[in-house]
Amino acid sequence: MLDTATTTSRDAATWLQGPVAIVGANGHVGTSVQARVTSISNDVRPLGRHDGLAVALGDADAVIHLAGTLQATGGNTYEEANVETVRRTIAALAGSSVKRVVFLSYVGADPRSPNAYLRTKGEAEQLLLGCGLEVVVLRSTFIFGPPDSPGPSATPFVSKDSKPVSVIGSGQQRYAPVYVEDVSAALLRCALDTAVQAGTYALAGPDIFSVDEFADTLSGRDVKERHLGPRLARALAHVVPSLTPAMVDVLAADSLPEAGLPLAADALGLDFHHLTTVYAQSTVTA
């Protein structure tokens, strides 16, 4: 199996050699993907919210679509962030040389879901799967970064100055968190290795933690968790700018790979990092 931290070699017979465009490249995952692409030889084209897609995608071999949000606040909407960005990407694919598209989704994505985040992620998946190109969907669990940059999903679970961590739900819901470097390795492999079959995969870390255990591990010590019941948290979501009802329900639920989907780590032959290894003997001071 390949170490995701050092996966820089490729089989010239199956790997695409041309440019790879990254839509939504400015976030935590996008930054990691950019660094990994530059370690091989493909031209990387990072695209932000207002960058033109048509020219960047024109002669590209692959597209990695990362644009989207769980925290649809400040005038942004789930439809705009998760669906319309995909529509614009699909429109820009017309007449391009793109051969493969990879989409970072979330576990439980379903166009029939009553949850706005999961519904719009599911709608985005359907749009891409119907675009006529080879598409790989990676339904990810919660993503965490290294101690010096835990990332937007993990940072709220890190105790700051020994203060309690606010946890939505009982704290016993289960997460299989996946390391950002493993996410970027999987995205890049799916985008450029044509031996990877198109389809939908579960992208998850190798271990399962309760949310309270997740917070303790990220903080490098046992921390006090302040649990907010989902009903109270949903009420707060109507007055607290950083929360939405959809976000509350996602945070209060399990974040585990879905039964019936092949695991990306197994399908790609990659060794994923253990959270306890990444955070071994580390005390985070976020």
- Which residue, chain included where needed, has tokens 């948290």? 233
Whether 286 maps to a domain, the answer reads no
Domain count, the chain: 1
- d(C-alpha 271, C-alpha 269), whole Å: 7
| CATH code of the domain containing 241 | 3.40.50.720
The pLDDT assigned to 10 comes to: 54
Q: Which domain range does residue 61 map to?
A: 2-278
Q: Report the largest interatomic distance among the alpha carbons of the chain, rounded to a whole angstrom.
A: 55
**Is residue 128, in this structure, part of any structural domain at all?**
yes
How many CB atoms within 10 Å of residue 148?
9
Q: What is the pLDDT of residue 221?
A: 85
For residue 170, what are the contacts with CB-CB under 8 A and spacing of at least 6?
227
Tell me, yes or no, whether 284 lies in a domain: no
Q: What is the predicted pLDDT for the residue at 228?
A: 87
Q: What is the pLDDT of residue 105?
A: 98
Joined together, the tokens standing for residue 284 give 């985070």
Instruction: Specify burial of residue 120 (Cβ count, 10 A radius: 0-12, 13-18, 19+).
Output: buried
- For residue 280, the tally of other CB atoms under 10 A from its CB is 11
pLDDT (0 to 100) of residue 33: 94
In this prediction, residue 261 carries a pLDDT of 97
Does the residue 283 lie in any domain? no
**pLDDT (tens place) for every residue of the chain, 286 residues total:** 334 443 444 556 789 999 999 999 999 999 999 988 877 888 899 998 778 899 999 999 999 999 999 998 877 899 999 999 999 999 999 989 999 999 999 999 999 999 999 999 999 999 999 999 999 999 999 999 999 999 999 999 998 888 899 999 999 999 999 999 999 999 999 999 999 999 999 999 999 999 999 999 999 888 899 998 888 887 877 767 778 899 999 999 999 999 999 999 999 999 999 999 999 855 554 4
* Whole-angstrom distance, CA of residue 89 vs CA of residue 52: 10
